[in-house]
């Protein structure tokens, strides 16, 4: 297990879930595995916060769920992105990119000033 794991900043969990589901419908476990894998093990979702987040997004109508068979033939609850979820993902991604760019710029300027 990598030692340089990073705590998820507030509000990014939703973005990560939506992004992961943009690829294909997934069940909860697969979402957490996929995030870990895509971030090269840097990001790891707290199991305890994943499911409340999923249920919250479902209630907002950004993702919808259906029951299906998992890869090892178990019953699993698959989540997929809805249309409004896709719009939400785009909006949140834009906001995130603006934020990180701005933060990076500030940090860069600060470094130059030192």
Partner 1 sequence: MLSDLFIRLRSLFRRGTVEAELDDELRSHLEHLVEKCVRSGLSRDEALRRARIEFGGIDQVKDECREAWGVNLIETVWQDLRFAVRLLSKTPLTSAAALFSLALGIGANTAIFSLIDAVMLRMLPVRDPEQLVQIKFRSPQSANLRQSVTNPIWEQVRDRQDVLSGVFAWGPDTFDLANGGEQDSVHGIYASGGYFATLGVRPAAGRLLNPSDDLRGCGGAAVLGYGFWQRRYAGAPSAIGSMIRLDGHQFPIVGVSQRGFTGADVGEPLDVAIPICAEAILHGKDSFLDDRSAWWLLMMGRLKPGTTVEQTAARMNVLSPRIFSASVPLDWDSASQQLFREYSLVADPAGSGTAGFTGIRKQYGQPLEILMVVVALVLLIACANIASLQLARSAARRREIGLRMSLGASRTRLLRQVLTESLALSLSGAALGALFARWGSVFLVRMVSPSHDALFLDLSLDTRVLVFTSAIAVLTGLLFGVSPALATTRTPAVAAIKETLEQAGGGRSQSAAARWIIAAQVALSLTLLVGAGLFIRTFTNLMSVDAGFDRSNVLLVDTNIHNAQIPGPARIPFYGQMLARIQALPGVVSAGQTWMRPLSGSEWNNNIEIPGRQLPNGVDPLTYLNWITPDYLATMRTRLIAGRSFDARDSASSLPVAIVNQTFARRFFPGENPLGMRFGTGERGPVRAKWLQIVGVMQDAKYDDLREDFVPVAYFPLAQMADVGESSTFEIRTAANPSSLIPAVRDAIGSVNRVASLEFFTLQQEADDTAIQERLLAVLSGFFGALALVLTAIGLYGLMAYVVTLRTREIGIRVALGASRSSVLSLVLGDLAALVIAGSAAGAAIAFWLTRYVQHLLFGLPSIDGLSFALAAAALAVIVIAASFLPARRAMRVNPMVALRYE
Residue with smaller CB distance to partner 1, 74 or 111: 74
37 touching partner 1, by CB under 8 A: no
DSSP 38-90: HTTTSB---HHHHHHHHHHHHHHTSEEEEEEE-TTS-EEEEEEE-HHHHHHHH
Q: Which of 24, 51, 90, 100 binds partner 1 (CB under 8 A)?
A: 51
Name the phi and psi angles at 43, rounded to 5.
-95, 135
Quick one: CA dihedral 95, 98, 100, 103, positive or negative? negative
Residue with smaller CB distance to partner 1, 72 or 112: 72
66 touching partner 1, by CB under 8 A: no
111 touching partner 1, by CB under 8 A: no
Chain residues 70-89 in contact with partner 1, contact rule CB under 8 A: 70, 74-77
Q: Which of 9, 61, 68, 108 binds partner 1 (CB under 8 A)?
A: 61
Q: What residues pair up with 67 in beta bridges, in sequence order?
A: 77
58 touching partner 1, by CB under 8 A: yes
Mapped onto helix, strand or coil, the DSSP state of residue 33 is helix
Contacting residues toward partner 1, per CB under 8 A: 27-29, 46-49, 51-53, 55-56, 58-61, 64, 67, 70, 74-77
């Amino acid at each position: 297990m990598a030692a340089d794991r990073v705590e998820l900043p507030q509000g990014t969990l939703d973005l990560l879930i939506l992004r992961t589901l943009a690829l294909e419908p997934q069940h909860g476990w697969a979402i957490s595995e996929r995030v870990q894998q895509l971030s090269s093990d840097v990001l790891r979702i707290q199991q305890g916060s994943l499911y409340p987040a999923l249920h919250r997004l479902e209630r907002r109508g950004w993702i919808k769920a259906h029951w299906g068979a998992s890869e090892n033939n178990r019953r699993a609850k698959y989540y997929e992105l809805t249309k409004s979820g896709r719009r939400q993902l785009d909006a949140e991604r834009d906001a995130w990119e603006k934020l990180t760019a701005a933060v990076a710029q500030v940090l860069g300027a600060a470094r130059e000033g030192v």
